Amino acid sequence: MLKPCFVSVIPRMVACFVLLLALMASAISPLQAAPLPAPPQLSAESYLLIDHVSGRVLAEHNADLRIEPASLTKMMTAYIVIDELMKGASDFDEPVIISDFAQSMPGSRMFVEEGTVVTVGDLLRGLIVQSGNDSSVALAEHFAGSEQGFVDLMNSKAEELGMVGTRYANSSGLPHPDHYTTARDLSIIARATIADHPDYYPMYSEREYEFNGIKQRNRNTLLWRDDSVDGIKTGHTEAAGYCLVASAVRDNMRLISIVTGTASDKTRIAESQRLLNYGYRFFRTEKVYSAGEVISAARIWMGQQEEIELGVAEDLYLTLPRSEFDALKSEIQIADYIKAPIDIGDEYGRSVLKTSEGVIGEVPLLALQRVEQGGIFLRMKHSIMRYFD
């Protein structure tokens, strides 16, 4: 009588044991990555958030919309002046005679006076920190002979940098029907300013500047609100609204935010802060490959050596949602037949980068060394080996 009862209990025990194992497995299995939240919706005509190093766009809205740049124009004005300083064509102490036209500029000014002599260094700080329209024109006249000549330099540089939605009509940002840009183009000049002029970029973080007994504060009040912010430029006209290009560094990650067409200074600051916080909270940037690093090796035929080392020409950085780096993988694809001679920089493969979302990019793998062709007997030997392969 006990046996049937015992047998009927066994399946229940087994089922309970299996259920217990399943519960334990679910308890110790990795948690699923949380979905990436949508970017914040800002009270702005257009906006853009990018990583400075990788260039990845983290959030955008109307980024290619044509807008009036206002004093954001001065980023290009300063870029060209600093380029001349770096070339040795001028220096901070070079004197500039102020013209009547420069003094007459309306709007924000550093209050230079006609006929006085002001150094390039003072004018540059008046341009960057005080956002002086008068200093913009004075520098333009000094470096190009006239503001229009300087505008030609601005448009040429914009074309060179790939700012396809930008046209400059003056050096200061005063309203003009043929003076326009986009949030995407503003990110290009911002990246160039930070990358190309590292010794001069700290000027954008200066909180105030005094000239001729008049002290003016930097209009980018994010410099006071967020210690990670170190630039870059504000702009405002009635048509453009309140605009701000900002940049910050946290945990060795630099982001650039562009916010245009907001209703007030308070709004442009708050919305820029929201963009930056979103980027830092949900993304990170890491170096995946270093320039010259050996990533793979490949068989060589007809050469004085049997293998060639392959790598990348430049450092490669990726910006991904934080959880995606755990899933990042590289699939190496090498050419089937590599024949000497080989020059440094010749492409013989690719690294296909993948995450849980699929393929996110491909990187050419280049020869890191030169390999000369082998002698005739070696080439004959390799030809035979290839034939039988």
Q: What is the pLDDT of residues 260-317, one digit of tens each?
A: 999 999 999 999 999 999 999 999 999 999 999 999 999 898 788 889 999 999 999 9
Radius of gyration, CA atoms only, the chain = 30
Is residue 71 part of the annotated active site? The answer reads yes
Q: For residue 123, is pLDDT > 90? A: yes
What is the average pLDDT across 361-380?
85
For CA atoms 272, 317, 83, 156, give the dihedral sign: negative
Phi/psi of residue 308, each to 5°?
Answer: -125, 135
Q: Of the candidates 109, 125, 112, which has an alpha carbon nearest to the alpha carbon of residue 208? A: 125
Mean predicted lDDT score pLDDT of the chain: 90
Q: Which of 45-54, 119-128, 246-255, 370-379 has the lowest mean pLDDT?
A: 370-379
- Tell me what the mean pLDDT of segment 339-358 comes to: 92
Confidence of residue 8 (pLDDT cuts 50, 70, 90): very low
* Residue pLDDT, tens place only, 199-258: 999 999 999 999 999 999 999 999 999 999 999 999 999 999 999 999 999 999 999 999
User: In sequence order, which residues have a C-beta less than 8 Å from that of residue 75 and are 6 or more positions away?
Assistant: 186, 189, 190, 193, 232, 233, 245
DSSP H or E run through 7: helix 2-28
Mapping DSSP to helix (H, G, I), strand (E, B) and coil, where does residue 204 land?
Answer: helix
Q: Which of 54, 71, 90, 135 is catalytic?
A: 71
Bridge partners, residue 346, by sequence: none
Residues whose CB is less than 8 angstroms from the CB of residue 223 and which lie 6 or more positions away in sequence, other chains included: 205, 207, 229, 230
Kindly indicate the confidence band of residue 318, based on its pLDDT and cuts at 50, 70 and 90.
very high
Q: State the catalytic residue, choosing from 46, 54, 74, 135.
A: 74
Q: Which of 54, 90, 99, 131 is catalytic?
A: 131
- Helix axis angle for 74-87 and 147-161, nearest 10°, is 90
Per-residue confidence (pLDDT) for residue 375, from 0 to 100: 75
Whether 3 is catalytic: no
Q: Which of 196, 242, 250 lies closest to 220, judged by CA?
A: 242
Residue 329 among the catalytic residues: no
Say which amino acid occupies 330: S
Looking at residue 384, its pLDDT comes to 75
Q: How far apart are CA 147 and CA 167, in angstroms?
A: 15
325 DSSP 8-state letter: G
Distances (CA, A) of 383 to 200, 348, 387: 58, 20, 6
Q: What are phi and psi of 95, to 5 degrees?
A: -80, 145
Cβ partners under 8 Å of residue 344, min gap 6? 366, 367, 368, 369, 370
User: Is the confidence at residue 319, as pLDDT, over 60?
Assistant: yes
pLDDT in tens, 12-24: 443 443 333 343 3
Q: What's the pLDDT score for residue 34?
A: 60
Cα atoms in the 13 Å half-sphere on the side-chain side of 319: 20
The residue with tokens 């046996």 is 3
Q: What is the pLDDT of residues 127-172, one digit of tens each?
A: 999 999 999 999 999 999 999 999 999 999 999 999 999 999 999 9
pLDDT of amino acid 304: 85
Q: Which domains does the chain show, CATH number per domain? A: 46-285 (3.40.710.10), 290-388 (2.60.410.10)
pLDDT of residue 31: 38
In this predicted structure, what is the pLDDT of residue 29?
Answer: 34
- With a CB cutoff of 8 Å and minimum separation 6, the contacts of 73 are 136, 168, 170, 171, 172, 173, 179, 181, 235
Given this model, what pLDDT does residue 378 score?
A: 65
Percent of the chain past pLDDT 70, that is, above it, reads 90
What does the pLDDT look like over 189-211, one tens digit per residue? 999 999 999 999 999 999 999 99
Instruction: Report residue 382's pLDDT band, with 50, 70 and 90 as the boundaries.
Output: low
| Amino acid present at 353 | L
